[in-house]
Amino acid sequence: MQRLDLNEPGLPDLQFVLMIVALCTSDIESLNAPVSVRETVFNRCWALLHEIPPPTQKAERVLNLMSGDEVMLEALVNVIRQTFEEHGFLELTWEQPASEPSRESTPEALPLVERIQKLYPPPDDVEPSLPSTSLS
């Protein structure tokens, strides 16, 4: 079983936000947060980044964080934690084995991937794998 402590996730903020958004928009049935809470989390994050309503089509429910800054990232982290806490969640759990990336990053995503790797370089004993990094 996978576990993610929402207050002490052990992840950098950007990875935390990306992981939460991925979980909230996934079809993982075993996630302990109901779909209504997941949608609320996503919709509140969307509202921080956009002035238009969130998309209703599943394929369009993606947050573009490339133009954000550290203040926006901090706001997203706070909204995520506050929303889950309002609904009684301090931890997310799910049963889903980790998988390898299913595709390479798109050319549009490469600047974000490079930025992430500069902010959070891999440990010295791990080779970076920029071309095969997947954000989906």
CB 87 within 8 A of CB 33: yes
| Cα→Cα distances 57→25, 48, 54, 101, 110, Å | 11, 19, 9, 23, 25
What 40-46 contacts at long range (C-beta under 8 Å, 24+ apart), as own/partner pairs, is: 40/83, 40/87, 41/79, 41/80, 41/83, 41/84, 44/79, 44/83, 45/17, 45/21, 45/76, 45/79, 45/80
Ordered per-residue pLDDT tens for the chain, 136 residues: 899 999 999 999 999 999 999 999 998 999 999 999 999 999 999 999 999 999 999 889 999 888 888 999 999 999 999 999 999 999 999 997 666 666 677 787 778 778 777 777 766 654 544 444 434 3
Residue 73 CA, distance from chain mean position: 11
Token look-up 């609904």 returns 87
Look at residue 125 in the predicted model and tell me its pLDDT. 54
Token look-up 């921080």 returns 48
Residue type, 51: E
Please state the pTM of the whole predicted model.
0.72
Ranges of each domain in the chain = 2-98, 102-136
Secondary structure (3-state) at 57? coil
Distance, CA of 70 to CA of 7 (rounded, Å): 18
